[in-house]
Structure 1
Amino acid sequence: MSNPNTQALSDVGVSIWLDDLSRERLNSGSLAKLIESHNVVGVTTNPTIFESAVQDGEAYEQQLSELAAKGADAEQAVFEITTSDVREACDVFSGVYAATDGVDGRVSIEVDPRMARDADSTIAEAKRLHEAVGRENVMIKIPATVEGIEAIAATLAQGISVNVTLIFSLERYRAVINAFMLGLEKAHADGLDISKIHSVASFFVSRVDSEVDKRLELAAEEGKPGTEKLRSKAAIANARLAHQIASESFSSERWLLLAERGGRPQRLLLASTGTKDPSLSDTLYVTELAAAGVVNTMPEKTLESLADHGEVDGDTMTDTYVESNRVLDGVSAAGMRYREVVDTLEAEGLEKFEKSWEGLLSTIDEGLRRNA
């Protein structure tokens, strides 16, 4: 029997994905259990998640020993270990995938974040990951950098489903949607069945509040009025306006033509939904961002908080756009430049992923030497 709070969110039309994966979670059956108990219908991963999984668990020792015996280096071992975990997770979700006609039951794996500024390398790596996992329900995560936009369209055009990650700005989100439609248009022109191509756009939430609130504090110290009422408002407003963009884009004439050809809309995925400010509700970025057709990928801690005490009150995104614009206008009036904020967040996000990737490589290298 599923938890009543996660069921309530699912009933609104939100797809609950877990932002975590590890060999231990797979081996213990806890991932399969969350499908039954917490309405989890997908998984997202990133370099930080894999770094933590390998550091904290002994479940990788056997594979590390086998890879060491083959003479694999750290790069090869990371590829083998991460694609193995994702392949197994795809199999765990095969029933969900079938039951939802491919909409959910998805597991995401990210390209090497060091390639984020190199479109050609990203396209090649996306294809390599897709082939290595070898499951229809895998999604390849590609960061929404300027160079990534080209890679997103090209990867989709090859019939590969894509999770576009690291989106902070509304302008970049529009570019992502355009790249998605370009990819489907090219795929259709090349004779591919575009009904099989799925995509989500991962719009990051909590980090926006972290950055804006830090700047609001400085503005308050400088004596600028009205800053306190804007605290912890920007992230939700930003995400709700992204929902407006999605609603408008996927009712456009351009999209309707693709839909007639079998195209499935790219869904808005809300990422970074764990609250970082302890003074805020630990389910804030879940219950205040609920709408049909949206995906929310949650860390386990946030998922458990939702299950324990989350109060789901229907659709909390549609018809909030006017107020959301007022919030962002207020942030701008307080002296914050929107472009500067989102550019900072993108750069920091990539840097964090690159550091985690380097940490993962280091951890794997130690494991290979230990098992040599």
Structure 2
Amino acid sequence: MKKYFFTPRVGKDYEKGFHGIKTLILGSHFYCPYTDCSHLKEECASSNTIWSMDAACPCYVGKEDQNYYKLSNSDTIEVDSYLEGFPYPSFDAFTYLMLNKRDYLSEDEKLLFWDQVAFTNYIQHYWPNGYTPPYEDNESLFDADYEAFKEVLTELRPQIVIVWNKAIKDCLLSNGDLQFVGMINIPIISTYMFIYEGAELSPKQLERLKKEYNIISEKIETKWLRELLIESFNDPHAVEAFRQKIEYFKCIQGGRSDSNIDNIVTLLKRCATQKLIIRMGNKLNFGPGLSRVHKEIFLKLIKESFDAPLKGTNEAFSKMFDYKFGHCKIPDNANDNKIKLMKSIFSMVKKKKLKERREKDEEKLVSQN
């Protein structure tokens, strides 16, 4: 039995691809306008029970073509309705932007585009209020349908996946099976691009994609990080506020030290090199495979590695990462490979070494006696 309920709409020229690249458009979820329907908050609100409503939806009962008018065909019905003139603002805006159109867009142009791509929504049931909650605090809701999405990927084998919704993007990043390319710099819709693992894309094709889709640069530069810290803390001295911790020693220590990170900006850049953090437009985000526990440990290590500002650190980092820190308990036994990688990087943060003042203290005691 297949894991996904909603059958993806696959354009007749999908295998040829849009600009020669097999492209899957991934939306968030379906919205039912019949808010008074008794099934909406019951059978249709769960991935486990919606199957019973496939041919029993009151909207479709009695329709002539029962193979077409069923809930599991909603991906196709939704796109077809848009192509037939039904007002879908998000579809319209996205189609205009994908085709780089500003004025008139003909019906043939719309049809040609949607014939070259595949489309599906990620969530495998209806959400009664139509609102997409954030991924954080709702991981189980999104992750419940991840195996169904993986089955779609296995069947369609797209080269790129274009995601419409931030919460879905966060879910895909957390599960870590797709390679994140970046945020598509278009207005109106939050849109992101991923590469399907194993997709055959040459470096030249990838660079062309970044240019054509106006992908916001992933490169994390020192100047940009400093500005982000200053803006998030609302303090022109935010970077300097993260002071090196003091480490006392009894004698001059010889040998070479591996501690070569001397400020918060260098630390963040080192984490970016290891893909622990990535740039997402004008914010930072956590890299693929990082759970809420990883994120909380990240901030905990920052506080342990620097004399961080006592006030506002959680709030400022929440702004920087668009994630609410401090809402997840860290298990005592948490120590997987991601955590070990973080710890190895944070261990390179320099400490300000000061020689112990024992001799002076002893002289002071003698003088007092």
TM-score (norm 1): 0.26
Bigger RCO of structures 1 and 2 (CA < 8 A, at least 6 apart):
1
